[in-house]
Structure 1
Amino acid sequence: MDPETKKVIISPDVVFDEVSFDNYDENDGENTSILALFPDDYTLERNISSTDEGIQSEENIETTTSLEATTRKNPPRQKKLPSHSSIYVVEMNHFSTLSFFFMGESLENEPKLYSEAKGIPEWENAMVEEISALDKNGTWELVPKPYDADLITCKWVYKLKKKADGTIDRYKACLVGRGFSQQYGRDYDETFSPVARMVTVRTIISLAASKNWKLWQLDVKNAFLYGDLNHDIFMEQLQGFVSKEYPNHVCRLKKVLYGLKQAPRAWFSKIAEYLDFCGFKSSSADPSLFIKKTPTVCTLLLLYVDDMIITSDDSVEINNL
């Protein structure tokens, strides 16, 4: 901009005038700084007098308060427990039971290793039950070990299933494959599996409550064992259950085991395929929500890993599922 003509000129080449500044008065800056640093005598005297008055008023208030405090000598307030605190009585035998229940302590310990569970009838029966389920499902087959095969290992995981009162319901032994030894591209490709969002869970429960629909919660037993494998995975034989006829063979997995990287995805694909066959459609807002709607019946099924929440306006539809 030309400072004299006040015209704006647009040009690719400009030179900044760093000597003269438009609308700038040197005296204004000096006067402002002088006033800020050295206020007049009247202002100083006024501030000093007002400060003195404030100090005197505070001293008067403190003196008055101290005099009132000395003249008033009320007796100290007696402290006692509220009356409602005496209506709660907990006997010692009940307290010991509750402490064990809420603190999660139990006389039974969950074994960490197979050597700890070996010899205990309850845990041995749980392992036999797990092996029977795996054999019935055709989870693997014994084959000679390929010369270039990389074996994955497995381990037993032991859990105590308890009732609402804290007592033991059953002993559960789960065979878990150690998927951390798998290699991408050789043993697995995709691992993503949708998981239900908590807002969807709340919405389903709220809808069932508002519509007065019945709500079912299901737990699919050995859910991951239903998933199909698309890769050749070889696993060593189970500790404590090595075949006497083929001790040097290995397990070629035909179904998914817990612990494998592709296990959640394989299970979700299997259950989604079955629900699609039954007429359910996956929701675009949450892929874990499956909806089946007819002119007379509406059914909602929410899948959270191996747990399900089902609600419908027709109980017969749930029983037929």
Structure 2
Amino acid sequence: MNVPNYLWGEAVRHATYLINRVSTRTLQNQTPYEAFWKKKPNIEHLRIFGCIGYAKAEAAHLRKLDDRSRMLVHLGTEPGSKAYRLLDPTRRKIVVNRDVIFDESKGWNWNNHDHEDVNSPGMFSLAIGEFGNNGIREENINSEPENNESENNSRTHQDETDSDRDEESNEDQVDSPVHDTNIEETLPKLRRSRRETTKPGYLKDYILLAECEYERLLLLINEEPCDYNEAKEVKEWKEACNEEISSITKNRTWDLVELPVGAKPIGLKWVFKIKKNADGSINKHKARLVAKGYVQRHGIDFDEVFAPVARIETIRLIIAIAASNGWEVHHLDVKTAFLHGELKEEVYVCQPEGYIAKGAENKVYKLHKALYGLKQAPRAWNNKLNQILTELKFEKCSKEPSLYQKKEKEELLVVAVYVDDLLVTGSSLHMICEFKKGMAEKFEMSDLGKLTYNLGIEVIQSKDGIKLCQERYAKKILEETGFGECNAVHIPMCANLKLSKAQTEKNIDEKEYRRNIGCLRYLLHTRPDLSYYVGLLSRYMHEPKESHGAALKQILRYLQGTQTYGLCFSRGSKSELIGFSDSSHNIDEDDGRSTTGHIFYFNNCPITWCSQKQETVALSSCEAEFMAATEAAKQAVWLQELLQEVTGKLSTRVLILIDNKSAIALTKNPVFHGRSKHIHKRYHFIRECIQNELVEVEQIPGEEQKADILTKALGRIKFKEMRDLVGVHDVTKFDFKLKGEYVGLSLKIEE
């Protein structure tokens, strides 16, 4: 085949791949692949090493007469994917592609040196994923020693020998395509050096490489392994795996049995995660054994899968109630929570890697309780937790199924559930301690004390109030986007910026744009000042343009200067629920729709907000404000009923403040019939709420409208004023201003 020497590594790799798929008597006529993976290998994709493959050309803006494929040389399959590794000998590049048509009857003519000296020493440049993997390229630059006459003579003699050999080559071989470009212009000509012979310097490189590898191994403990083979080499991860298996065994989750006829076992895999504290330090190394639930069949392996979790608005409301009354918020974690959920279906799983029972390799585990990864595991755990909380005399809130409350005389205890995390607060520390004891008797618990970090949110509790921020998460966003050292700006977007989908600009990386927007959306849990701007850019997820990318960069620069900003929930005696509703008319450049914005406060602390485009086009600002007020009324009714259910106190009408007189009149009376008769009947819901005395609408001056920051881009001065007014502050500098009577805990812990 006369393949160049620099492809020896590819040949060895491909040979190893083939050997692992050839049966051997050592393994009782099984292939190594089958012995390891417990299934026969698929060899339909195998092709002859060195044959010609025509890879689909995915270059942009191909002309009509351009080739739709490129002729390359097959080097085997790409590890970890279904793609092929192919060599372009004319450019000395390796590419990875899945769209390939092979001609196994032909191979590359390596002996043709009219265009390229393929046997010359040196490395070819590596372009992994040239066809769609971001064009990553690594190049090895060769030195250019001086030329001498003897080398030219030897090269000429070699060319003659190769020419003779070429005449005897197989007629089926394909010649290299002819290029007009001289090869001397593309490949550096290697020449023999005139320097004196000294001790080889590459030995030092080997020593340096060994030192780097040693340092990398030392850092493995702080990295998350990809699989069990990596994890078992590190003590901390091995202990985490042992702890996981011990928890499963202790909980009597499964039994080792023979696989019934007709049943299909579900595979298992290890997942590793480093749990960190709010300051970024390592809390623990967590190994989780999960089932490959994606192979489960509906109606056979599972039925219902839904399980409720606490909404972020509910969590903020509970924290606001606790801050208002001076209560402490505690954090509990249920260890291996899903293992407590009882299964109703018969489910079988394979034995986990690294823990296969000797002498029973062909047996499987029958599950009595759920495992992480099963589709019904969250629901099974939630049912079990609901049963335990009911036994402890808790009542589930109908408006929030993941919220529980318990009353004893004048004392109140509230528990919010987010999967296996329990947020506990109440008027009595004694009740909190009794609840912890009761839960510890039912499950293996981790008492994390006062809430400091949960769901990516840092919580700072003091006697004066509670602060929420996402500083650590904001830093992570900036580091991953390359804006960790950028210059900060004062506002997230210029007030006069107009964005649209039809802008005639170049497209940017859609995948990266979506990823960054998704990260910023999670940051909105504590940053209502960014809600409108992130929501606006979220409208351009499909084919984002350069202007959208520039706007995204400005938001990141604004975030650079406001990483420590968040919400501050202060103490106070006024437990009022007040909402602000606003709308910007005809602000969308593409369809002319308006933007709705509303924000609600409890004890002057923001607990829920919204900034979204309206579903229909409003013909006037009055109509836009009217539709926005209806959306605010929906949220107000839910908050009012939830607050009443949690506290047990009859709440008064929720006050909604609007800055448009016409909209206020329209909510109370069917006026302006000629200009409002077309409004859909669903938006008249607010009139019913006013008639039933659930909400009350009043006017507020425009400069005091807190929802204004949720509907449009503001100038620098106006934006900073509204940011302070809405309640977003630098939590590292904010001092609580106590209002009203100091309310402490009613009971102390009994010794």
Shorter-chain TM band: 0.5 to 0.7
- Kindly tell me: are residues 167 and 213 of structure 1, through their superposed partners in 2, closer, same or farther at Cα, counting changes over 3 Å? closer
Deviations 1:244-276 (A, max 9, x none): 132211000111000100011011100101111
Cα deviation 1:13-41 (Å, max 9, x = unaligned): xxxxxxxxxxxxxxxxxxxxxxxxxxxxx
> Aligned partner of 1:244: which letter?
K
Change (3 A) 1:195 1:233: same
Which of 146, 155, 172 pairs up with 2:260? 146
2-structure distance, mates of 1:145, 1:272:
33
The structure with the largest strand share of the pair is: 2
Is there any run of 5+ residues in structure 1 with no aligned partner, and where?
A: 1-104
2:596 is aligned to: none
Counterpart code for 1:148: G
Give the letter aligned to residue 276 of structure 2.
K
- The farther-off stretch of 267-276 and 216-225 is 216-225
Does the 8 Å contact 2:221/2:236 carry over to 1?
Answer: no
Amino acid at match of 1:317: M
Pairwise CA distance, 1:208: 0.4
Counterpart of 2:432 in structure 1: which amino acid? Answer: I
Look up the equivalent residue of 2:283 and give its one-letter code: D
Give the whole-Å Cα distance in 1 for the aligned partners of 2:276 and 2:250. 26
* Aligned partners of 2:220 and 2:234 also within 8 Å: no
Structure 2 matches for 1:84-103, cutoff 5 A?
Answer: none
Shift of 1:119: 2.2
Which residue of the partner structure matches residue 204 of structure 1?
318
1:117 aligns with 2:231: yes
2:290 corresponds to which of 176, 197, 203:
176
Matching residue's letter, 2:351:
Q
**In the aligned structure 2, how far is the partner of 1:311 from the partner of 1:134?**
31
- Tell me what 1:236 maps to: 350
| Cα displacement (A) at 1:239 | 0.7
What letter is aligned with 2:336?
Answer: N
Residue of structure 1 in register with 2:401 after alignment:
287
Task: Report what 1:24 is aligned to.
Answer: none
**Aligned pair partner of 2:383 in 255, 266, 269:** 269
Find the aligned partners of 1:171 and 1:297 in 2 and give their Cα distance: 39
Question: Structure 2: how far apart are the matches of 1:108 and 1:303?
Answer: 30
Identify which of structures 1 and 2 has the higher relative contact order when contacts are C-alpha pairs closer than 8 Å and 6+ apart.
1
Distance 2:382 2:277 in 1: 28
Indicate the residue corresponding to 1:60 in structure 2: none
Q: Normalised by the size of structure 1, how large is the TM-score?
A: 0.65
Ranges in structure 2 where 5+ consecutive residues have no aligned partner? 1-218, 436-751
Cα-to-partner distance string for 1:258-306 (whole Å, 9 max, x where unaligned):
0100011011100101111111010011011101112222111110111
**Displacement of 1:118 after TM fit?**
2.2
Look up the match of 2:434. 320
Match of 2:334 in 1: 220
- Residue pairs, 1:8-157, within 5 angstroms: 108-157=222-271
TM-score of the two chains, using structure 2 as the length reference: 0.28
TM-superposition CA deviations, 1:89-144 (whole Å, max 9, x none): xxxxxxxxxxxxxxxx9972211111111222221111111111100000100001
Which residue does the alignment assign to 2:368? 254
DSSP 3-state at the match of 2:431: helix
SS of structure 2 residue aligned to 1:301? strand
Among 298, 302, 307, the alignment partner of 2:416 is 302
Amino acid of the residue matched to residue 251 of structure 1?
Y
For residues 45-97 of structure 1, the C-alpha deviation after alignment (integer angstroms, 9 at most, x for no partner) is xxxxxxxxxxxxxxxxxxxxxxxxxxxxxxxxxxxxxxxxxxxxxxxxxxxxx
Distance between the aligned counterparts of 2:371 and 2:319, measured in 1?
32
1:194 aligns with 2:194: no
Residue identity in the other structure for 2:328: K
* Secondary structure at the counterpart of residue 188 of structure 1: coil
Contact map agreement 2:274 2:286 (CA 8 A) in 1? yes
- CA distance in structure 1 between the partners assigned to 2:324 and 2:240 by the alignment: 42
Contact 2:404 2:415 in 1 (8 A): yes
Q: CA deviation at 1:167?
A: 3.4
Letter in 2 for 1:273: Q
**1:167 aligned to 2:281?**
yes
Q: CA RMSD in A?
A: 1.5
- Percent identical among aligned pairs is 45
State which drifts further: 176-185 or 163-172.
163-172
Higher Cα radius of gyration: 1
Q: 1:147-195 deviations in whole A, cap 9, x for unaligned?
A: 2111100100011123344333321110001100100100111001112
Partner Cα separation in structure 2 for residue 157 and residue 107 of structure 1? 15
**Is the Cα–Cα contact under 8 Å of residues 393 and 406 in structure 2 kept in the other structure?**
yes
